[in-house]
Structure 1
């Protein structure tokens, strides 16, 4: 097969080996990203249902519509990024310019004005979340594209992906440790039980007293959780800026691009259309992200309502993150021994087993959920890490195939597909618990609502991860083939540079 040739590029110095500072700086970027992204994934549905007072059935379309809009924004921003050229490179300026507005929009999303009508509640939810989504694209697209411009060495890319996953996991852990205790503290169920106990128990209280206790508990829970979330997101503005500035000053672009780097829209679409590994990866990622976001969205509900203790969510997150941290040093070795695709498939299997274990865990045996979260952490550590490394590899495939290097557009398309998965996962989880009768303002949930939470947390994610396994079994870009492609591309560049010199 003969790849389309592009005009010659000027000779460039070979990229330097990445040091620890570059890896840590890149990890800091995703830690900052997830102060907005994971905060919304874990707690925004809970905020809508329990604080703002939006029924779960009405909240589901918010996640569907806004995240689809977010995906469209990814493609738009990807085109903007591919046309950017500054003394700081293509990608880092976007991180510098857009990070503060992103973090401030996260405060807005969790501090909506009070409204009496459902229409106004929905208006503010759609508007604020839509703005956050667009700003997130303006930071995350250049951030995600940056890895492919930092190095072409497979092991270094695997390490970058590992550090990125560790940065994201660290933020998830911090969120669980900081936010989950506040959710438990301001749980209407816990507050109601405390008020009933103060009355001498249900047997000693009148129905009027119990009704008043329920109303007071719901109002107190809403006000208290609102104050806690506003304070936490304000603190995250300062933490996030420190993380983003670290990325800006330490993660540098090194990979030389073809001279004809600014592809037209038609050329970019043609590059993507011919990129079969990217297409397979996108389908697998769509399924897995739908699975993971449904799982992630339901975590706090599962701990608080199914197992009866919201503080367990912090324990589960520690276990899940611990699994990711323990696995992280071995991912490069797993890639070297078995390849990215096999490692990815192994992660999907671990995720499936862990999710099924959560589905069958009785409320009296939270230790089973701990084991389930550990297995899920192993699965996430492998799949999420290798997903990013494989996406970077597809950029090299696209350049080999067409002679054009479109990091921003490629990453944007991949991110768009991921956003569709996030949309389907968040909306699906909300739709399931809405259908089965979850009521955010209720002090006690029905058995049907609790079963709906189990299904959305365990059974549905496991089924979708199984489909992911089937799809990624057919992923065509093996590590051996990747090495052949990059060698051919570098040889072509060298020949073109030699011809240009004469």
Structure 2
């Protein structure tokens, strides 16, 4: 890629520098960090705001009514924006500022407010939060079109994105959560009775969240208000830094000559309706991306991870150990697949191959979960290959069983194929936007981005509702399971449903939708040639 010119005017191709793609990909991680924070919001709503489990799991979904109203307006504003600071960069700034301020108030002010107004205040704040998330999230998709239009280069974004997602979701966050945040903020009555009583006095709903272990009452870190303030400050600061780097990465390309046909145009509401009704690419991609998002959100839900590692496998510390062990092989395999499949065979084939691989290894993981459930054999002293690294304080359990080794192998394979299927949809939105330019001459990346933003938030929030309803059905209607909860067959079955069952539905939808998706690698080459021809004709007409 480095040997190719950034501009190839003969065929209308324009490319980005590799570091620009890498920097810009951090915008997605900036918003993903806030998604990580809100993934565990049910614990906060139950323990501190004081509502029931099912309502807590459903509230984010309910709020999508407001989201559905705001998303099209934000998309239209993006499509009509063209400032000295660019089309996309203003929305990164506005969105990130809103996200930080709203979450700061949520987790620092609400716990000190009168209990009767906490829920309505949270609702108002979350409504504003949604606007901020939409503003920043839409840029990840809309700016893809101006970043590069080289079909062979667009998957490079997904390669960078896969690195950041794997590092944060599979290593940094699990380690931080399971070995630092949860242990340090979990309180027991033997040592912290006064603090627990003070929290309960300020937040009466926390009393129902206490569990008993060996005659001592325990308040999980998930219900500790201080952990939420610490997470918000850390995540907010890092997300702001990533947003700044993303702005630097897109700055050279965020100019009108890289937008569609390179000219300003007026886009009205009727144009949006026509796009949604006739652009088969975006229709099928939304189906695929939304169901895939449901799959990943259910699979990675905090409660599901607590049940899998803390209850079924019986050692929550293994969560961080397994994540750290799988990180490097997962990254290498993901990048290998992206390079060999997405860059050379096209993005559609990459999504399909990732889907089939995910389905196969998800089924294998179910077998391992059933065999290893509540038997303590994930860390029997049969194999000891992480002990040399235990001095780092990362790999707490130094002995792993054969089952544990098999789980690591399957986790790497499942994660790599799942990463390829899930991450490739972001640059595919650029293909859909270019397809619309090819089809009608309209450049509407904002519509594409907000459509995905809406689906992303709707489906990810639906996952919280599904998980909450599933656990409420087996008796967890008042509080959610924690690592202190005893094992039961019902917990195993619900965890399997959330970890594999719901994702399987999403993967089947991927296969069906890609059957009707028209944008193959060959079709995208034809599209770029036609756009280049139109631009050349416009240049001659002006001359």
Contact 1:192 1:213 in 2 (8 A): no
Displacement of 1:68 in angstroms is 5.0
- Answer whether contact 1:28 1:244 (CA < 8 A) is retained: yes
Counterpart residue number, 2:464: 426
Residue 440 to residue 406, structure 1, CA distance change in 2 (3 Å): same
Contact 1:186 1:222 in 2 (8 A): no
Corresponding residue for 2:428? 390
* 1:337-391 Cα shifts (integer Å, max 9, x gaps): 4322221111112222343344341233442543443233112321122211211
Secondary structure at the aligned position of 1:405 is classed as: coil
Gap regions ≥5 residues in structure 2: 1-8, 193-209, 379-403
Q: Secondary structure at the match of 1:218?
A: strand
1:58-77 aligned within 5 A: 58-77=55-74
CA drift of 1:102 comes to: 1.1
Q: Which of 462, 483, 497 pairs up with 1:455?
A: 497
Q: Which residue of 1 aligns with 2:26?
A: 28
Q: 1 CA distance for matches of 2:291 and 2:164? A: 23
What CA distance in whole angstroms lies between the structure 1 residues aligned with 2:104 and 2:15? 39
1:285 to 289, 308, 318: 289
Alpha-carbon distance between aligned partners in 2 of 1:218 and 1:471, rounded to the nearest angstrom: 48
- Per-residue Cα deviation, 1:75-105 (whole angstroms, up to 9, x for no partner): 2211111111111210011112331231233
Separation in 1 of the partners of 2:493 and 2:87?
48
- 1:325 aligns with 331
338-347 vs 106-115, which moves further: 106-115
Q: Residue 166 of structure 1 contacts residue 325 of structure 1 at CA under 8 Å; is this kept in 2?
A: yes
Alpha carbon RMSD of aligned pairs, Å?
Answer: 3.3
Cα 1:37–1:247, aligned 2, differ >3 Å: closer, same or farther?
Answer: same
Query: Which residue does 1:4 correspond to in 2?
Result: none
Secondary structure of residue in 2 paired with 1:217 = strand
Shift in CA distance, 22/356, structure 1 to aligned 2, threshold 3 Å: same
**Residue of structure 2 equivalent to 1:314:** 320
Q: How far, CA to CA, are the matches of 1:422 and 1:371 in structure 2?
A: 27
Question: Are positions 1:353 and 2:379 aligned together?
Answer: no
Aligned residue pairs total 474
Question: Which residue number in structure 2 is paired with residue 267 of structure 1?
Answer: 271
Preserved contact between residue 191 and residue 221 of structure 1 (Cα < 8 Å): no
Kindly indicate whether residue 338 of structure 2 is the aligned counterpart of residue 300 of structure 1: no
- Structure 2 equivalent of residue 37 of structure 1: 35
User: How far did 1:332 drift?
Assistant: 3.1
* Cα distance in 1, alignment partners of residues 306 and 104 from structure 2: 20
**Contact 1:324–1:380 under 8 Å retained in 2:** no
The answer to whether 1:440 aligns with 2:439 is no
The equivalent residue for 2:280 is 276
Q: 1:163-194, CA deviations, whole angstroms, 9 ceiling, x for partnerless residues?
A: 23323333323222222324541697x95999
Contact 1:158 1:331 in 2 (8 A): yes
1:80-159 residue pairs with structure 2 within 5 A?
Answer: 80-111=77-108, 113-114=110-111, 122-159=119-156
Q: Structure 1 CA distance, aligned partners of 2:76 and 2:113? A: 41
Over 3 Å counting, the alpha-carbon distance change for 1:54 and 1:372 in structure 2 is farther
Structure 1 residues 107-116 or 137-146, which shifts more?
107-116
Q: How far off is 1:412 after superposition?
A: 1.2
Task: Give the drift of 1:214.
Answer: 7.7
Moved more, 277-286 or 258-267: 258-267
**TM value normalised by structure 1:** 0.84
- Secondary structure class of the residue paired with 2:516: coil
1: CA distance between counterparts of 2:141 and 2:455?
14
Contact kept in structure 2, 1:396 and 1:405, CA below 8 Å: yes
Partner of 1:198: none
Q: Which moved more, 1:342-351 or 1:64-73?
A: 64-73
> How far apart, CA to CA, are the structure 2 residues paired with 1:33 and 1:63?
16
Find the aligned partners of 2:515 and 2:537 in 1 and give their Cα distance.
Answer: 36
Mark the runs of 5 or more structure 1 residues left unpaired by the alignment: 1-10, 196-209
Is residue 436–residue 442 contact of structure 2 (8 Å, CA) maintained in 1? yes
Report the Cα offset of residue 287 of structure 1. Answer: 1.4
**Distance in 1 separating the partners of 2:34 and 2:327:** 18
Asked whether 1:409 is paired with 2:443, we answer: no
Write the deviation string for residues 448-494 of structure 1: whole angstroms up to 9, x where unpaired.
24432332222222233233223323322111011111111211221
Give the distance between the partners of 2:501 and 2:466, measured in 1 at CA. Answer: 13
Task: Go from structure 1 to structure 2 and tell me whether the alpha carbon gap of 1:73 and 1:21 turns closer, same or farther (over 3 Å shift).
Answer: same
